[in-house]
Amino acid sequence: MILPPATLGLLGGGQLGRMFVIAARTMGYKVMVLDPDEPSPAGMLADFHLRAPYRDQIALEQMGRDCTAITTEFENVPADSLECLAQFCPVRPGAAAVEIAQDRRHEKTFLQSHGLATAPFVTVEKHANLAAAFQRIGAPALLKTARLGYDGKGQVRVASLAGLEKAYQQLGAVPCVLEALLPLKTEISVVVARGEDGRIAAYPPAENQHANGILDVSIVPARISPALASQASESAKAVAAALDYCGVLAVEFFVLEDDRLLINEIAPRPHNSGHYTLDACPSSQFEQQVRTLAGLPPGATDLLCPAVMVNLLGDLWPEGGEPNWDAVLREPRAKLHLYGKTEARPGRKMGHFTVLADTVEAALQAALDIRAALVRNAAGN
Q: Does domain 7-91 have CATH number 3.40.50.20?
A: yes
Tell me the three state secondary structure of residue 92: coil
**How far is the C-alpha of 284 from the C-alpha of 299, rounded, in Å?**
8
- What is the structure's pLDDT at 356? 98
Backbone angles phi, psi at 352, to 5 degrees: -155, 165
- Say if CB 365 and CB 308 are below 8 A apart: no
- Say if CB 29 and CB 320 are below 8 A apart: no
Single-letter amino acid, residue 262: L
Residue 173 CA, chain-centre distance (Å), reads 26
Residues of the chain with CATH 3.40.50.20: 7-91
Backbone angles phi, psi at 114, to 5 degrees: -105, 20
Instruction: Kindly report the number of other CB atoms within 10 A of residue 96's CB atom.
Output: 13
Residues of the chain with CATH 3.30.470.20: 184-378
Burial (Cβ within 10 Å: 0-12, 13-18, ≥19) of residue 235? buried
Contacts of 10 (CB under 8 A, 6+ apart): 17, 20, 21, 31, 32, 33, 34, 42, 46, 70, 71, 72, 73
Burial (Cβ within 10 Å: 0-12, 13-18, ≥19) of residue 180? middle
DSSP calls for 134-151:
HHHH-SSEEEEESBS--T
**Nearest CA-CA partner of 298 in 245, 253, 335:** 245
Residue 236 CA, chain-centre distance (Å), reads 14
Phi-psi region at 320: left, alpha or beta (left = phi > 0; alpha = psi -120 to 50) = left
**How far is the C-alpha of 97 from the C-alpha of 246, rounded, in Å?**
9
CATH number of 120-180: 3.30.1490.20
* Tens-binned pLDDT, residue by residue, of the chain (381 aa): 999 999 999 999 999 999 999 999 999 999 999 999 988 999 999 999 999 999 999 999 999 999 999 999 988 889 899 999 999 999 999 999 999 999 999 999 999 999 999 999 999 998 988 999 999 999 899 999 998 766 667 889 999 999 999 999 999 999 999 999 999 999 999 999 999 999 999 999 999 999 988 999 999 999 999 999 999 999 999 999 999 999 999 999 999 999 999 999 999 999 999 999 999 999 999 999 999 999 999 999 999 999 999 999 999 998 878 999 999 999 999 999 999 998 999 999 999 999 999 999 999 999 999 999 999 888 775
Return the CATH number of 184-378, one of 3.30.470.20, 3.10.28.10, 3.40.1740.10, 3.40.640.10: 3.30.470.20
Please give the C-alpha separations between residue 203 and each of 42, 184, 270, 272, 312, in angstroms, as whole numbers: 24, 23, 12, 13, 23
- Say if CB 94 and CB 86 are below 8 A apart: yes
State the pTM of this model: 0.95
β-strand partners of 186: 255
- Count of residues in the chain: 381
Residues of the chain with CATH 3.30.1490.20: 120-180
